[in-house]
Amino acid sequence: MSRLDLLAAGLTDPLLVTDEVNVRYLSGFQSSNCALLVEPDAAVTLFTDFRYLEAARAVEGVELVQTRRDVAGALADLLAGRRVGFEASRISYAQWETIAAGGADLVATRGVVESLRIVKDEVELDAIRSAAAISDDLYEALSNERVVGRSEKELAWWVERTFRELGADGLAFDSIVAAGLNGASPHAHPGDNVIAEGVLLTVDAGCVVGGYCSDCTRTFAVGEISAELAEVYDLVARAQLDGLAAVRAGATGYDVDAASRTAITEAQMAEHYGHGLGHGLGLEVHEAPVLRPESTDVLAARNVVTVEPGLYLPGVGGCRIEDLVVVTEAGCEILTSFTKEMLTLA
């Protein structure tokens, strides 16, 4: 059964899909200006403007309707008087207002397409495995780079260039390269500061292959580091292994996250681990399910999630270690295999 058929089987009202990622997932069509209308009987209409018509004509199993560039404005006329579901978290208020003004009876839905995306099929998993393999190759290359005297910005550009050279289609997100005190910020921006010896260097990077993302973080020692920084690394490494051990189908996001906090809490460092353990990943780098203290998500086989505890100490530095995994009935398949032993860069 196709993804569109699976979606239609669960509908009572037609569903207007306006999020471009969801449109791509359902139909394979890529555009920044489009919408799908999926009927409960599995009839599907694809709306887009002149610029994307040639690509849209290649989409099988849909009725193609050319609109003006203002797709929402066109839909206001085309959907007038109809009861239609819409993606409440994936449509702007301005778009909703425009379509509703035409007389459509709009019914809010949440997570309908995402509930299909959360479990990956083998084609998706193969693409994610390919992206993860390129991530491994990137970190292998990085382990042989000299970093002392280079800026974080320069190293971030090296990451992007190397991903491309290794065969990636592009970056999954802006790379984080954080050395020394900058590493105390979980989402640090690479700066002009020069990487010096005696610090930890955190690199969080991911690439895209066939539309699907990877996400991996490794932290390195730069030259000889203090005993305090070595202890921080060891504690994060232990927390990461504990998190990995808790991943399996049927576990909740809350429970897996909690498993990663035990050692850190026992070490009285809980205040320095302020983010969730991980998140789902696929066509987007942040998807459901989530692994964090407030999560009610229940993991299922073929979910893809990150496992990435960290410690961030203002005035000292930070450390994060992250793997990308596929959830299985018995545990997880770890996709990012580059070593997590602390390596020292020159």
The mean per-residue pLDDT over the stretch 46-66 comes to 95
| pLDDT greater than 90 at residue 342 | yes
pLDDT tens-digit readout, 232-252: 999 999 999 999 999 999 999
Q: Which residues pair with 66 in a beta bridge?
A: 48
Is the per-residue pLDDT at 327 higher than 80? yes
Burial of 273 (0-12, 13-18, 19+ CB in 10 A): buried
Task: Determine the CATH number of domain 3-117.
Answer: 3.40.350.10
* Secondary structure E strands in 284-341: 287-291, 304-307, 310-313, 317-320, 323-327, 332-334
Of 106, 121, 96, nearest to 25 by C-alpha is 121
CA diameter of the chain: 70
Nearest-10 crossing angle of helices 71-78, 93-101: 30
pLDDT in tens, 169-185: 999 999 999 999 999 99
87-97 pLDDT, tens digit each: 999 999 999 99
Task: Round to the nearest angstrom and report the end-to-end CA distance of the chain.
Answer: 53
Domain extent listing, the chain: 3-117, 122-345
pLDDT of residue 280: 98
| Beta strands 216-222 and 344-345, pairing class | parallel
Establish whether the linkage from the previous residue to 309 is cis, with ω within 30° of 0: no
pLDDT tier for residue 151 given thresholds of 50, 70 and 90: very high
- The upper half-sphere exposure of residue 210, i.e. CA atoms within 13 Å in the direction of its Cβ, equals 13
pLDDT(1) > 80 = no
Give the pLDDT confidence of 112-142 residue by residue, as tens digits.
Answer: 999 999 999 999 999 999 999 999 999 999 9
Kindly state the tokens that stand for 178. Answer: 């954080």
pLDDT at residue 255 tops 90: yes
Task: For 282-311, write each residue's pLDDT tens digit.
Answer: 999 999 999 999 999 999 999 999 999 999
What fold characterizes domain 122-345?
Creatine Amidinohydrolase (3.90.230)
What's the gap between Cα 29 and its chain centre? 20
pLDDT digits over 191-217, tens only? Answer: 998 999 999 999 999 999 999 999 999
Q: How far apart are CA 331 and CA 311, in angstroms?
A: 25
d(CA 312, CA 315): 9
pLDDT for residue 334:
98
Contact between 246 and 260 (Cβ < 8 Å): yes
Give 106's pLDDT tier (boundaries 50, 70, 90): very high
CA distance 333 to 129: 10
In which band, very low, low, confident or very high, does the pLDDT at 153 lie, cut at 50, 70 and 90? very high
In 30-158, which ranges are E strands? 34-38, 44-48, 63-66, 83-87, 105-109
Residue 294 pairs in a beta bridge with: none
| CA-CA-CA-CA torsion sign (10, 13, 14, 20) | negative
Q: Are 3-117 and 122-345 in the same CATH fold?
A: no
Per-residue pLDDT, averaged over 265-273, amounts to: 97
Reduce the DSSP state of residue 176 to 3 states and report it: strand
Quote the CA–CA distance of 30 and 51 in Å, as a whole number: 12
CA atoms within 13 A on the CB side of 28: 12
